[in-house]
Chains A and B, each alone.
Chain A
């Protein structure tokens, strides 16, 4: 099964953030979107990513947007930063998913859906700022890490799960005293992602104690949002519904408002 050594090796093998992405992020943080766009132009993969992402239905543009400076202009500073972090995450996405039955398209759709709803939530909570908006981008890293660590142990996990309803995060913690969210924090450190972001994502596991009030609120909403998305048919089929434990008691008091914010139709299906 997964060992501490495997976790160490995985963290060591995480590539540093590409220089162009780092520079682009620096310009975005300074609010200079023109320079950021120029910088991003130099990386064809980043350019293609931005173009593909922005033209997804979730962003709702009728005509194709292809110019990078135009893309950044449309997105604004906060969302541009969020999308650059999402791109960074794509560096970690495996060529072939081993544990979850996911396609790249489905993963990017998940990133996009989480980001769009997260912005809606932050607006509702009046907590929309650059860092809180970007926090959601680190969350899917936990899925990537989970696939990377457990992919080679699929049959063992199946046997374990045949006798006990254990989620991957719990299995990892009980075996190695380290969670998927601890590893996300390590990734954030390596990529110089602000600590507030990794703290919120870590707390979104629903296991952290002694949180600051705002961090707790963000963690609750993020936890519920994650399970809202992981309850979509595509992600249930992919096996993502069982990836961490859903803590109902952690989100019970925000549930009603959440349903209104995400405009969930209770008569679905």
Chain B
């Protein structure tokens, strides 16, 4: 069984009965290897379709989860259960419960970084005060607004108005959390929350894959929320200096906010400034100053001053990329798309209204970005297989569009892999407003392919 991957969360979905006899059959050696190779921040096992499980059955999955957590420093746990199942799991593991439990997959997603600026209002209750605080801190660090309730009675009262909240958290447990630096997106800036003593461990807890991904999809402003940092040692200093150097290649800016140097040598500040890192006292100094935000690259993704030329190697792969796109569309709709024209030019969209766009980048032996722009009707049609029903819910369509582009990215990765080019793909990014994409892609030259699908046109754009 393979895990499905949405954003940076991978989930196994076993069905039926799960006991010590059959559980090993769910995970072959290939499945385990494939899971180890995933570029994710969280790995879960969904119990939604499991009617019966015993401890021996769960243990098979838990062993894999813990193993992968030890290797990759990611969060792991179980999700999608009801209250009786939650209590059963707690009874099985008692004080040895060292993985997380999320009542739903949606709740789990609140505890991982995305590339969307989408803060949620979350009603939160846990009878254990330390769990309650841990969850509130994590949620806050990931950019959400937790409303913490101190008693079960108050929680039950507040729960009666579910429309007031985007999510309600109960029957949830955080096990060994905070292994990664929490990340949130505000507009076009990425905010990392760092705390306590910063040492060599920052290399493990900072999600470098996510950071590279963000650089590749066009983010240019990275802010370290350092209010809670007590001190930093030379290893952490080296880490941030290197990070600043790699950001400079993308014309990206790294800022520290709220960092005091009472217990950290002030020379470190000079070293970091020499590396290009800028210091601010308050977060508002940046986020509420539009001019400064624009200058730093956080108002939009336009700060990419450097345009990178297409390479011959990349253009050689173009037919494969187009084929990946066309065949994915055919797979999802059972209808054919045909190529109409192809030009090397900056991205040009005739009508930006009523269109959705999405992009996915790849980096490694070769780097580039695939951009797709669809009329909304085509996007809806392309996503029908994933959504299951006709819908006008924009969030659902854009989420499915991201999954759709992820398949194309996966195909492109396989295609390049066959030619011994090892690449990683970034998180897909979707745009409900094509103008936002056009701002990011302006001045970028690429190969624009206009395609026709069931009488409508859509655009494929390959750039760097």
Contacts and interface: CB of A to CB of B under 8 A. Distances in A.
Interface of A: 1, 3, 153, 156, 158-166, 170-171, 174-176, 224, 227-228, 230-234, 236-237, 241-242, 245-246, 248, 251-252, 255, 259, 264, 266-269
Given A165-B46, A236-B25, A268-B19, 14 more contacts: A161-B4, A162-B410, A164-B4, A165-B4, A165-B13, A174-B385, A227-B51, A228-B16, A237-B28, A246-B15, A248-B51, A264-B17, A266-B52, A269-B56
7 contacts: A159-B410, A163-B6, A164-B403, A233-B24, A245-B49, A255-B52, A268-B19
Contacts of A170: 388
Contacts of A242: 1, 13, 15
B16 A1 contact: no
A268 B21 CA distance: 6
B221 to A, nearest CB: 29
B159 interface: no
A163 B331 contact: no
Contact of A174 (B28, B51, B384): B384
Nearest to A269: B20
B2 A232 contact: no
B334 interface: yes
B137 interface: no
Contacts of A163: 4-6, 386, 403, 406-407, 410
B23 interface: yes
Interface string B406-424: 1100110000000000000
A245 B51 CA distance: 13
Contacts of A156: 331
Contact of B49 (A164, A234, A248): A248
A181 B406 CA distance: 31
Given A227-B51, A245-B49, A160 B18 contact: no
Contacts of B51: 224, 227, 246, 248, 251-252, 255
A165 B11 contact: yes
3 A-B pairs with least C-beta separation: A269-B20, A231-B16, A236-B25
> Which of B5, B48, B51 has the most chain A CB atoms inside 10 A of its CB?
B51
Contacts of A165: 4, 11, 13, 46
Contacts of B330: 1
Interface in B286-336: 328, 330-332, 334
Main secondary structure on B side of the interface with A: mixed
Contacts of A236: 1, 22, 25-26
Contact of A171 (B13, B23, B328, B385): B385
Contacts of B25: 233-234, 236-237
Contacts of B175: none
Contacts of B46: 165
Contacts of A166: 385-386
A163 B3 CA distance: 9
B119 interface: no
A231 B18 contact: yes
A155 to B, nearest CB: 9
Interface residues of B, number: 43
B22 A246 contact: no
A246 B334 contact: no
A264 to B, nearest CB: 8
Contacts of A246: 15-16, 49, 51
A159 B324 CA distance: 11
A162 B334 contact: no
Contact of B407 (A160, A233, A241, A268): A160
B54 interface: yes
B57 interface: yes
A156 B2 CA distance: 14
B14 interface: yes
Contacts of A175: 334, 385
Contacts of B57: 269
> Which of B6, B54, B331 has the most chain A CB atoms inside 10 A of its CB?
B331
Contacts of A232: 22
A163 B6 CA distance: 6
Contacts of B23: 269
A55 B21 CA distance: 26
> Which of B15, B334, B386 has the most chain A CB atoms inside 10 A of its CB?
B15
Contacts of A268: 19-21, 54, 56
> Which of B4, B5, B22, B332 has the most chain A CB atoms inside 10 A of its CB?
B22
A268 B385 CA distance: 38
Interface in B92-141: none
Contacts of B388: 170, 174
Contacts of A241: 1, 14-16, 26
Contacts of A158: 2
Given A227-B15, A227-B51, A228-B16, A162 B5 contact: yes
A242 B2 CA distance: 11
A162 B31 CA distance: 12
Contacts of A245: 15, 49
Contacts of A251: 51
B28 to A, nearest CB: 7
A252 B385 CA distance: 28
Contacts of A171: 385
A269 B49 contact: no
Contacts of A267: 54
B17 A231 contact: yes
A233 B6 CA distance: 27
A224 B385 CA distance: 26
Nearest to A156: B331
A237 B407 CA distance: 25
A212 to B, nearest CB: 25
A252 B82 CA distance: 13
B228 to A, nearest CB: 36
Nearest to B23: A269
Nearest to B400: A164
Interface in B45-83: 46, 48-49, 51-52, 54, 56-57
A165 to B, nearest CB: 4
Nearest to A176: B334
Interface in B338-395: 384-386, 388
A178 to B, nearest CB: 12
Contacts of A3: 334
Nearest to B324: A159
A269 B6 contact: no
A233 B56 CA distance: 14
Contacts of B384: 174
A153 B24 CA distance: 27
B160 to A, nearest CB: 24
A161 B403 contact: no
